[in-house]
């Protein structure tokens, strides 16, 4: 049985905190196990002046960690599931999906601003968020903003933004939710697939002590349904496609959003059924929404 592990993480405070969550769960489940966190800067973290869709997508946040995992420099990597590309190497499977943190999106106003007014500028690097927020704030405009949580909040305060939108899960994990001005319901703004869930990657066939204590079956059901919805629509990291699944007992309810590039319009819908059929239901919903155009 292994007694020491290395967990790979991006360098941001949020990424490190997420790795710590997994580290603490593994150490609690396997007394005597020691774990160190190894951080590295990814290509996606280095290039902040361009939108993700122009520089290659979400894979830029994981490829350095994938390489380190394949080379044996680390034993596990921890990612926000929403930041992972749809295609995951077969030799580096997701071996655990953590208990989900709050999946909703949150609006943060510039310090000193009480409310968004006509002509307000919302910083968002996500077309998914911009499309849905555009319905809620039709008299506001959107401007690209990139970087980790602290970087975006710094830009919000010092640059020409009146507000920004961030995942509530990350703010809660950092203990920064007091800066939130409004939390959007999952009906107002359908989250990114996997938002709030941490994905733990390992090498195929390797046994990791205590990993069963990290894995949450409801998160796994939800993750597979949400990512199945996006995958059917060929939605990558930058595609304005959204999916959110909730489980209750043996049931699953899936919300989805599909954007039609040619018309510039989007449609949202919902489907429910038995949770072990989540991926089938998600594909059915995706097909239905796509068929409306």
Helices (H) and strands (E) in the chain, counts: 10, 13
Q: Is residue 83 among the annotated active site residues? A: yes
CA 36 – CA 2 distance, rounded (Å): 13
Token pair for residue 196? Answer: 């709030």
Q: Please name which of 126, 202, 199 lies closest in space to residue 164, comparing C-alpha atoms.
A: 126
Distance of CA 126 to the CA centre of its chain: 11
Sequence-ordered list of residues with C-beta below 8 angstroms from that of 181, at least 6 positions apart, any chain: 106, 107, 108, 109, 163
CA 85 – CA 228 distance, rounded (Å): 12
Dihedral sign computed on CA atoms, order 18, 24, 26, 27? positive
Burial of 192 (0-12, 13-18, 19+ CB in 10 A): buried
CA 216 – CA 200 distance, rounded (Å): 11
CA 78 – CA 110 distance, rounded (Å): 31
Token pair for residue 76? Answer: 């596990």
Catalytic: which of 75, 83, 105, 162?
Answer: 83
Q: What 3-state class would DSSP assign to 100?
A: coil
CA 188 – CA 165 distance, rounded (Å): 13
Q: How many CB atoms lie within 10 A of CB 150?
A: 13
Give the residue numbers annotated as catalytic, written as ranges.
83
């Amino acid at each position: 049985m292994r007694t020491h592990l290395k967990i790979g993480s991006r360098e941001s405070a949020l990424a490190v905190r997420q790795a710590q969550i997994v580290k603490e769960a593994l150490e609690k489940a396997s007394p005597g196990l020691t774990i160190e966190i190894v951080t590295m800067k990814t290509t996606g973290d280095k290039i902040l002046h361009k939108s993700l869709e122009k520089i290659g997508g979400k894979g830029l946040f994981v490829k350095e960690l994938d390489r380190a995992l394949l080379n044996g420099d680390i034993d596990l990597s921890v990612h926000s599931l929403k930041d992972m590309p749809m295609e995951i190497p077969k030799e580096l499977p997701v071996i655990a999906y953590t208990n989900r943190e709050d999946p909703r999106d949150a609006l943060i106003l510039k310090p000193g601003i009480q409310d968004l007014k006509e002509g307000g500028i919302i910083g968002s690097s996500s077309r998914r968020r911009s499309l849905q927020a555009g319905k809620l704030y039709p008299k506001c405009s959107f401007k690209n903003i990139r970087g980790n949580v602290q970087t975006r909040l710094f830009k919000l305060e010092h640059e020409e933004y009146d507000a920004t939108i961030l995942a509530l899960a990350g703010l809660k994990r950092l203990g920064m939710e007091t800066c939130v001005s409004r939390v959007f319901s999952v009906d107002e703004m359908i989250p990114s697939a996997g938002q709030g869930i941490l994905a733990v990657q390992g090498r195929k066939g390797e046994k990791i002590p205590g990993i069963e204590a990290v894995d949450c079956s409801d998160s796994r059901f939800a993750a597979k349904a949400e990512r199945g919805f996006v995958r059917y629509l060929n939605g990558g990291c930058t595609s304005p496609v959204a999916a959110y699944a909730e489980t209750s007992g043996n049931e699953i309810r899936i919300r989805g959003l599909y954007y039609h590039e040619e018309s510039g319009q989007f449609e949202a819908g919902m489907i429910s059924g038995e949770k072990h059929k989540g991926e089938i239901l998600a594909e059915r919903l995706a097909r239905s929404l796509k068929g409306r155009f």
